[in-house]
Structure 1
Amino acid sequence: MARRLRPVELDFTESAPLRLVFAAEVSASPHAVYEALADVAGWTSWFDAVTAATPTHRGAGREITLRGGVRFGETILATDPGERYAYRVDETNAPGLRALLEEWRLTPTAAGTRVQWTFATDAPTPMRLVLKLGRAGLAASFRGAVRKLDRRLASV
């Protein structure tokens, strides 16, 4: 990994200079969605942007590689079954980031689960602008991943 990022904690989802929040509903239960999130190696089967995912530090961390070669060394900060899964990026080869935390919140609905993904980051102003401009792409990637996850969980 090229650079270390500033370590942040869970409250960063509320205080980050840039927060991008996406939500979608799935028919799977919160528990089933959580189990898929916690299965680090399984991410490549439903999140197309993720090309490699490996648990590290006896399950307390993750190594993630995205399409295009961006890599993240992460620490898992929250594992609340059926409710929340969150991790922060400690190291990356992506330029311009100072801190990054992602949180997946799961809320039961009458039809299944509301999945909310918060992408909380600190970066210099030009990089924040790039991320804001890329919001539509992140939203599309999230929606596609959640749809694919829902189909995968329905077939299990």
Structure 2
Amino acid sequence: MRDLRDVDADFVETAPFSFANSVDLAITPDQLFEVFLNAEAWPQWVKALTQVTWTSPQPFGPGTTRTVHLRGGIVGDEEFFTWDAPRQIAFRFIASSSRLTTAFSERYDVEPTADGCRLTWSVGIDVPRALAPVVRLTHPLLDRLLASFLTHLRHYTDKHYSAN
């Protein structure tokens, strides 16, 4: 594991590579936060994840940590710097087994809607200089991949909350 650069919630907007995608969900913001709390739910909609382990006790808040395992054997240690249920969570990778990123952060903004809620998922990434041209070239593909995870989230929430 190697340490990544310390970033804050604004990094998703100021990062060299930023992504933001939204999805409308037919569940309440509180129900969406139930999904966020469920470690077993994450790999079902974020298909890059294979395992999520909370490493801090509940109740969760700023400073909460977890470890994620990604496809390809990558492991990341995360720390949440924002936990404002049911409106927003944000975290950064504090360490990673991969050398593909130098800084990484995600922010989840949740707004209530007439039919449930709207989630905006923002991701900020910095990479070693040698990888920047590759990320620049593949940015549209990465954006589509991230957007597909939100489609998986909608399917997950429709399946698990359809009776509500």
- TM interval, shorter chain, is 0.7 to 0.9
Please name the residue that 1:91 is paired with: 95
> Are 2:136 and 1:129 equivalent residues in the alignment?
yes
Task: Confirm or deny: 8 A CA contact 1:46 1:152 kept in the other structure.
Answer: no
In 2, Cα distance between equivalents of 1:146 and 1:120: 22
Cα deviation for residue 130 of structure 1 reads 5.5
SS across alignment from 1:40: coil
Deviations 1:92-146 (A, max 9, x none): 1233211111011101111111011101112232353255142222221332133
Correspondence 1:39-118 to 2 at 5 A: 39-58=38-57, 60-118=64-122
Partner amino acid, structure 1, of 2:90: A
Q: 2: distance between equivalents of 1:119 and 1:20?
A: 5
Matched, 1:145 2:153: yes
Matched, 1:30 2:49: no
Give the secondary structure class of the aligned counterpart of 2:122: strand
Give the unaligned 5+ runs of structure 1.
Answer: none
Alpha-carbon distance between aligned partners in 2 of 1:141 and 1:117, rounded to the nearest angstrom? 10
- On the 8 A contact 2:23/2:120 being kept in 1, the answer is yes
State the Cα RMSD in Å. Answer: 2.1
2:43 and 2:100 map into 1 onto residues whose CA distance is 25
Larger mean Cα displacement after TM superposition, 33-42 or 7-16: 33-42
Larger CA deviation: 128-137 vs 49-58: 128-137
TM-score normalized by structure 1?
A: 0.86
User: Would the alpha carbon gap of residues 86 and 153 (structure 1) be closer, same or farther in structure 2, given more than 3 Å must change?
Assistant: farther
Q: Deviation per CA, 1:36-80, whole angstroms, max 9, x where unpaired?
A: 213334423443332111011435101001222221110011111
Q: Structure 2 regions of 5+ residues with no counterpart?
A: none
Q: Size of the alignment, in residue pairs?
A: 155
Q: Residues 1-48 of structure 1: CA distance to partner in whole angstroms, max 9, x if unpaired?
A: 2x2110111121222121100111110001110222133344234433
